[in-house]
Amino acid sequence: MDNIFDEASSKLGPEFTDPMLAGIDGVSDELRSASGIESSAESSEVKIENLNTGNDELLLSQNSLGTLGLSESQELREKTSIEEEDPLIGKGDNLGEKVDPLTGDQPNEVETKTRTAQRRDRAGNSRGKAYNFGALKDDEKLQEFVGKSDRKDFYKFRVKEKTDVDIELRGLSGNADLYLLNNKGKVINKSTKGGKNAENIERTLNPGNYYVRVQSKGNANANYSLSLDGELPDIAGNSLKKARNLGVLKDDENLQEFVGKSDNKDFYKFRVKEKTDVDIELSGLSGNADLYLLNNKGKVINKSTKDGKNAEDIERTLNPGNYYVRVQPKNNKVNTNYDLSLGVKTSLESDTQPGLMTVPVNEPVVQDNPFAPPFQGVNLPSNYDLRKKGDVTSVKDQGSCGSCWAFATYASLESSLVKEKNLTTDLSENHLKNYHGFDWGPCEGGTHALSIAYLSRGEGPVKESDDPYKSFDDRPSPGGTPPYYVREMSIFNTDGEMKQALMEEGSLYVTMHYDRDYLNESSDTYYYSGSGNGNHAVALVGWDDNKVVPGANKKGAWLCKNSWGEDWGDDGYFWISYQDTKGVNYGVSFNDATAASSFNNIYYHDEFGQVGTFSAPYALNTFTAKADEALSAIGFYTQADSARYNIKVYDDFSYGQPSKLLTEKSGKAKYAGYHTVDLNSLVNLTAGDDFYVYLQIENGGNYPQAIDYRQNGYSSYSTARKGESYYSNDGKTWKDLTTSNSTANFSIKALTTESVKSADFITVKSPNGGNTLEAGESYTITWNDSIDENVKLELYKGGSFSRTITNSTQSDGSYSWTIPPSITNGSNYKVKITSARDSSVSDLSDSNFTIEPEDFITVASPNGGNTLEPGKSYTLTWNDNINENVKLELYKGGLFNRTITSSTSSDGSYSWTVPTSITDGSDYKVKITT
C-alpha cells in the first residue's frame, strides 16, 4: 500500500517524522499520489502541493491536526451514496451530518483550506473492481479504510481445492462488518459483532471464486487490518469409513492437519502385521485437542486428553490388525492446527508411562513365543480360596497414600512365604514406598516394576517392625536389614496360569480400574465395563466360576484382598467379575524367597530394573569383584513364556570377544518375569578382577533383553558408562550398548556368596524339564557331580517336597526308579539330588517335567454274571487310555480258549457273534490286551 509519509520522510530527511502526523489514524489512506511536500516552520503547517485532485492546496496544522473538510459537491455525493439502502444493513442514521471520514469529527472544529481530496482506494468498491488475491495463500494481510467516503471494500480470491479459510478483521478504529460472498455475490457468511470488536469468519470452502466485503456500520469511519488464512486441504476423513488409510504402519509417519468448528473430527486408519509397540503423538497444537486410539470396530482402547495446548501421547503394544486414530477438539468452539506422528519401535521398546492411583498404567507386555507349549491346567477346581488354606496374611490399610502397589506386592510375597516356607511375617510397605528409587514420591503411585527393581537389588524386603507404615512421605524412615532375597517374580497373562499360580505359589499382584460407582456394596462385588486406565492394585487370593456379580452378563469372579482396612468390603475382601474389562488382566507372583545371607554382594548396572527392552538376543555385562568371593547365581528378565536362556561367565573380554569360559548354565524359564538361576559351579573371584556375564535368550519375543535407561519422569537418574554393557545380534560381533542409547545398560545381575566355597557340584541331567514319565514304569535318573560321598534323591511337586526317591545311593551318576502307580498326576515335578555329607551341594531339575497315569484297560461287559447264547451277537465293551489297537480273547476255566479278534481299534466296543459250536459253560472270561 502506498504511504505518503514514507515518501515525505525520504524527501525531507530525518527531522520529518511520523509522530508529527500521529493525530490522524489512517491519513495515509486518504492522502495519496502526492508530487511534492513542503514543511514551513514559520507557519507550523505542512503544505501539500500538486495533489492530483484539482485542489489548490491542503494545509494541516502540526500542533493541532484536525479533520479534513470535504467540498460541498463531494459531501453531497457521499450523502447520496450513503442514503441508498444496503440490502444487509439498511439506511444509515444522521446521514445529513458532515462527518470527517478520518476522525468522525464535525468539519467546523478546525478550519482547513481544501476542496475535495480524491482518494485512491486499492480495494475496489464493487465485485467488478474487487482487489484480486488470486489463489489464496496462507497469511494474506493488508490495511485499509472504510467510511463515509468509501463505504465498501471488496476483495476476490480463489481456492483450488477444499480449504479451511479463516478471515479476520482487526485493528478497527470504528464499527465495521465482515461478509463472505460466493461467486455470484450472495452472502454465505458474515460477522457483525458491533463496535470496534474484531470480526471473524471461519468456513470450509469448496474449489471456486469468493469475495470478501468490508463495510462501515452507519456513520462510522474505520481503519482496519484484514487477514485471510487458507489451511491445508483436509487429508483426514471425518468418519471411520472415510478415514485416511496409512496402510501398514511404518516408523515415523508425520502429518499436519486442522480440526475445529468446521471440521471437528479427523480419522486415520493403519494396520500392524505383528505384535507392535506403537507411539502416537499429537503436538504443535494451537488449541486444545484430544487424541484417541480405536480398535477395528471403532471402540476406544486408549486416549490422551490433557488440558490446554499440551501435547498428547499414546503408547501401546498392539496385536496384528487394523486400528484407527481420532483427533478432535476439546469442544466444538476450539480451532487448532496439529502435527500427528505415528511411530513403531525398533531397537528400544516403547517408553512406558507406569503408575497407579493417579497416573495411567500400561499393563506388562508378555511377548509371543510360538514355541511355548499351550497352558494345561492340572485339575483346576471351580472355586478356590487361599483364606481357607491359611495362606494369606492380615488385611492392611494404606490410608490416604498412593501406595496400593506396595501392599499388593507384599500381599503376594507374604502369602508365598506362608505357602512355600510355612513362615508368617509382616513386611514393610513403608520402606518399599520410600526407597524404590524412581522419580515418583512415596505416595505418588507405583507399579510391580518398581517392586521388582527394588527387590532384585536386594534393598528389601524390610520387616514391618523395623520400618513401620506411615501414610505420608516420612523419609528418612528407619529401614532395616532385609531377611530375604526374592529369587522369582513371574508374570502371568492368562486366567488358567493365574489360577494355577494361586494354588502353587500363593497370592498374586493384580490391577484394576476402581470407581466407586461400579461397586455393589450389598454383595461386595465389582464390575467395570469401561476403558479407563488401571488405577489401583490389589491382591488376588481366589476365584469362583459360579459367582454372580450384579451387572455382569456371565457368572464367575475373582476374590481379591484390598488394602483399605478390614472395615471396607467383606472384612477387606471383595469380588471382581470375570467380565471386568480392566480387572485382573495379568498377575505377578513374588515368590521363592531365600535367606538374604545366602548372597554377599549383588552386582548390577540396572538401578531401575527393566525400563524397556532391546531387540538383540545376546547381551553381556562386565563387573569388577569387590572382594574375594564366589559367583554363585545370575539374575535376569525374560519377556515371553518358555523362553530359553544360556548363561556363560568369562574371565576376559578383549578385542571385542569374550574368552576364557569359567562356567555356564542353560535352561528354560516357564513364565516371563525376573529369575535368579544358580550356576552349575561356583566361580572364584579375586577383589579387583573383572568378570563377564553373557546371556543369550532364545524364543524370547522380538525384544528379548531387558534394559534400564533414562526416562524423564520415571527413571531420570539412570546412567550408563561405556564398557559396562555390550550387545550382539549373532553372538560374534559385539557393540557397546551406549552406542544405541547413551543411558542404557542390560538388566543382568551377578550374585556372590559370602566366602569362596568348595567347587563341589551336582548337576541333574535327566529328567531336567520337559520330560513326560508314566506311572508304573521304570526310568533312569542321571546326573553329573564332583563328589565321592553318597547322594539323596527326592521328588518335588510345585516347588514343595513330595517324597523321597532314595535316602542314599552311590554317587555314580545314575539311579533306576520305578514310579509308583499311585502317584498323583501333574506337570510340575522336579528331581532334587543332594550330597549326603554336605546339604549345600545339591541341584534341582532346571524346569518341570510331567508324570502321567499308567496305561490301563478295564473290561466293562461281559464282566461277570452275564449269560450269552450261541449264535447270537453281543457287544463287548471296555474302557482304556491307550491309542493302539487291542486283541480280544476268550478264556475258559482260566485257560485260553480262542481268539475273538487279533486286532481291532481301541474304541471301547466290539460286536461278537458267539459261535454255535462253542461248549456250554459258566466259567468263561474275556481278556483284552494291547
Q: Which of 213-227, 270-284, 340-354, 722-736 has the lowest mean pLDDT?
A: 340-354
Confidence grade of residue 365 (pLDDT, cut at 50, 70, 90): low
Q: Which of 253-262, 304-313, 406-415, 592-601 has the highest mean pLDDT?
A: 406-415
Taking residues 340-357, report their average pLDDT: 51
For residue 353, is pLDDT > 50? Answer: no
Q: What is the pLDDT of residues 498-511, one digit of tens each?
A: 999 999 999 999 99
Angstrom distance (rounded) from CA 652 to CA 243: 57
Matching CATH number, 857-929, of 1.10.150, 2.60.40, 3.40.50, 1.10.3470: 2.60.40
pLDDT of res. 588 = 96
- Which of 317, 318, 337 is closest to 327 using CA atoms? 337
What is the C-alpha separation between 685 and 757, in angstroms, rounded?
Answer: 11
Q: What angle do CA 23, 28, 30 make, to 5 degrees?
A: 100
Would you tell me which CATH number, out of the four given (2.60.120.820, 3.30.43.10, 2.60.40.10, 2.60.40.730), belongs to the domain 599-753? 2.60.120.820
Judge whether residue 217 has pLDDT over 80. Answer: yes
pLDDT at 79 over 50: no
For residue 436, indicate whether it is catalytic.
no
Q: Is the pLDDT of residue 434 over 70?
A: yes
- pLDDT tens-digit readout, 266-303: 999 998 877 688 999 999 998 999 999 998 878 898 99
Catalytic residue among 175, 335, 362, 562: 562
**Is 536 designated active site?**
yes
The catalytic residue among 431, 448, 536, 675 is 536
Selected from 3.90.70.10, 2.40.400.10, 1.20.140.10, 3.40.140.10, the CATH number assigned to the domain covering 383-589 reads 3.90.70.10
For strand 131-135 and strand 208-216, is the pairing parallel, antiparallel, or unpaired? unpaired
Residue pLDDT, tens place only, 864-902: 889 989 999 999 898 887 778 989 899 989 899 999 899
Active site residue: 404, 443, 513, 848, which one? 404
Class assignment of domain 762-852?
Answer: mainly beta
CB-based burial label for 566 (10 Å; 0-12, 13-18, 19+): middle
Q: Which of 417, 382, 751, 750 is nearest to 589 (CA)?
A: 417
Average pLDDT, the chain: 82
- Active-site residue flag, 729: no
Residue 56: CB atoms within 10 A of its CB come to 10
Architecture of domain 127-230: Sandwich (2.60)
Q: In 410-427, which positions are buried (b, 16+ CB within 10 angstroms) versus exposed (e)?
A: bbbbbbbbbbbeeeebbb
Per-residue model confidence as pLDDT tens digits over 754-767: 765 556 899 999 99
Q: What distance in Å separates the CA atoms of residue 29 and residue 37, rounded to the nearest whole number?
A: 17
Q: Is the pLDDT at 52 greater than 70, yes or no? A: no
pLDDT of residue 107: 39
Query: Which tops the pLDDT comparison, 216 or 18?
Result: 216
User: In which band, very low, low, confident or very high, does the pLDDT at 821 lie, cut at 50, 70 and 90?
Assistant: confident
Nearest to 333 by CA among 444, 200, 445, 440: 200
Q: 167-181, 200-214, 527-541, 750-764: lowest mean pLDDT where?
A: 750-764
The strand pair at 842-844 and 857-861 is best described as unpaired
What is the SS3 assignment for 311? coil
The mean per-residue pLDDT over the stretch 195-199 comes to 92
Q: What's the pLDDT score for residue 755?
A: 63
> 557 has which bridge partners?
544, 577
Percent pLDDT > 70 in the chain is 82
For the stretch 581-598, pLDDT in tens is 999 999 999 999 999 888
C-alpha cell at 803: 517324597
Cα dihedral sign, 613-614-617-623: negative
Residue bearing the bigger pLDDT, 623 or 87: 623
**Rounded average pLDDT over 38-43:** 34
- pLDDT of the residue at 366: 57
pLDDT of residue 763: 94
pTM of the full structure: 0.48
Residue spans per domain, the chain:
1-117, 127-230, 254-344, 383-589, 599-753, 762-852, 857-929
Which cell goes with 144?
Answer: 485499509
- Indicate if 254-344 has the same CATH topology as 127-230: yes
Q: With helix as H, strand as E and coil as C, how does 627-655 read? A: CCEEEEEEEEEECECCEEEEEEEEEEEEC
SS3 731: coil
Q: Is the pLDDT of residue 59 over 60?
A: no
| CATH class of residue range 254-344 | mainly beta
- HEC per residue, 447-463: CHHHHHHHHHCCCCCCE
pLDDT at residue 218, as a whole number: 82
Of the candidates 472, 478, 437, 471, which has an alpha carbon nearest to the alpha carbon of residue 454?
Answer: 437
The pLDDT, as a whole number, for residue 854 is 74
Q: What is the per-residue pLDDT for 53?
A: 34
Residue bearing cell 551341594: 841
What is the rounded average pLDDT of the residues 809-815?
93
Indicate if the pLDDT at residue 110 is higher than 60. Answer: no
Position 381 pLDDT exceeds 80: yes
